[in-house]
Amino acid sequence: MLRTMTAILALGTLSTPSLADQPVAIGEIAYGPELVEHAEDFGERELDRLAGYLRDALERELADQLGDGGRVLNATILDAQPNRPTMEQMSGARALHHSSVSIGGADVEAQLVSADGEILETYSYGWRSWNIRDVVGHAQWTDARRTFSRFADQVSDSLDERANTGS
């Protein structure tokens, strides 16, 4: 009798999958108003590059959880600063050189949305270099990419935690 009850209870829990069992799809990557304002200065194509960097970081960190038909992660790049001038910035009237450096970084947020549209979780992260001396040897968007990588890691940790708690 005890074995039968255990089997029935186990079957009951298996037939109703938790949200943690659902795959995650990376949805829209949008741009915040501050970043859109800077787009004229950076150049429009830089926004697409930033979105690609964020998508790459999320795909890398969430690789074992990606799939369709479950939850969707919609992200927004609120703002970003390059470590080195973009092509658009160098072509402007300012005296910038490709070796010019500055403190870079980014601010990003995301929402994890269930299949029925309910917001399950919100995430946000921002990071900037502390000191101009930390920037030596950096590429154009190094600090923004570092921000995206750290953000994706935090989102992945949060999803793993959700999976472990069954929520």
Q: Domains (ranges, CATH) in the chain? A: 21-165 (3.30.160)
Work out the average pLDDT over 130-155: 83
Q: If we measure between CA atoms, which residue out of 47, 67, 77 comes closest to residue 147? A: 77
Q: Are the C-beta atoms of 88 and 41 separated by less than 8 Å?
A: yes
Q: Are the C-beta atoms of 150 and 125 separated by less than 8 Å?
A: yes
Q: What is the pLDDT of residues 39-72, one digit of tens each?
A: 888 778 889 999 999 999 999 999 999 998 889 9
Q: Indicate whether this model's pTM tops 0.75.
A: yes
Q: Cα separation of 164 and 158, whole Å?
A: 10
